[in-house]
Amino acid sequence: MPKFPHLAKFLCLCYRHISCGGRSLALFDFVPMALSSSTRYHSRFFAYPYCFQAAWDWTAEQSSLSFLGVLVGVILGCPTITVSDCTWWFRRFPARGRKIHPEDRLLWLIVAAILLPEGLFWFAWTSSLGTPWPAQVCASILIGAEIVLNLLSTTSYVIECYLRNANSAMAAYVSVRSAVAASFPLFAIQMFEKLGAQRAASLLASLCVALAHTTAIFWVYGEKIGSWSWYSYDG
């Protein structure tokens, strides 16, 4: 009999949540998805101002205009996923007997996993002074589209996986993602100063390529992985 029964019960409950996370929110998938999201935030909020101010000698106000490319990507991404939901998803839902299948939401998340490294590689390889600056700004269009596709697809996927427990699932995912993202500012400046914009951004893009396969795995095996969960919704 444990001396601290309440502590033992709490640890047991934590173990159940961690070991039975279900579908894409299993613990081993928290970190890859969090790293991918953190890389996106890092590339936008640090790499863009740093590269344009250091390489092109722009002011802070001028370098902030480079985010207009992100805005264009967001504007393009919103109607894309909306039209997809109103056509492709609404046809599949009745075909499945009006049964929720969360993996259907991963289609555009797979596309986002492809767009992010492409945008980062584009940004990295056009960051030299010999390349006109509009080419580098256009790279952010892909990143902007990825932001919308990633955010909306992930949110819909988590909600459909857990339904009654969706709030807790989203809180857990955001907590892990935020914890990983908080580490980037600790080494971002040193990395870009020592490696340079091209190598540093290419390193981030390579990391995204290494993590991109996780979404495809859950597209194929998500339903089976979901059967391990004690808290995901099946019905």
- pLDDT the model gives residue 164: 80
Q: How confident is the model at residue 22 (pLDDT cuts 50, 70, 90)?
A: very low
- pLDDT the model gives residue 15: 45
Is there a contact between 113 and 33 (Cβ–Cβ < 8 Å)? Answer: no
Q: How confident is the model at residue 24 (pLDDT cuts 50, 70, 90)?
A: very low
Residue with the larger pLDDT of the pair 16 and 225 = 225
Percentage of the chain modeled with pLDDT above 70: 77
Q: Is the pLDDT of residue 146 over 50?
A: yes
Q: Is the pLDDT of residue 73 over 90?
A: yes
CA-to-CA distance for 84 and 90, rounded, in angstroms? Answer: 9
The pTM of this model reads 0.79
CA-to-CA distance for 153 and 166, rounded, in angstroms? Answer: 14
CA-to-CA distance for 23 and 111, rounded, in angstroms? Answer: 19
192-209: per-residue pLDDT in tens? Answer: 888 988 898 898 888 888
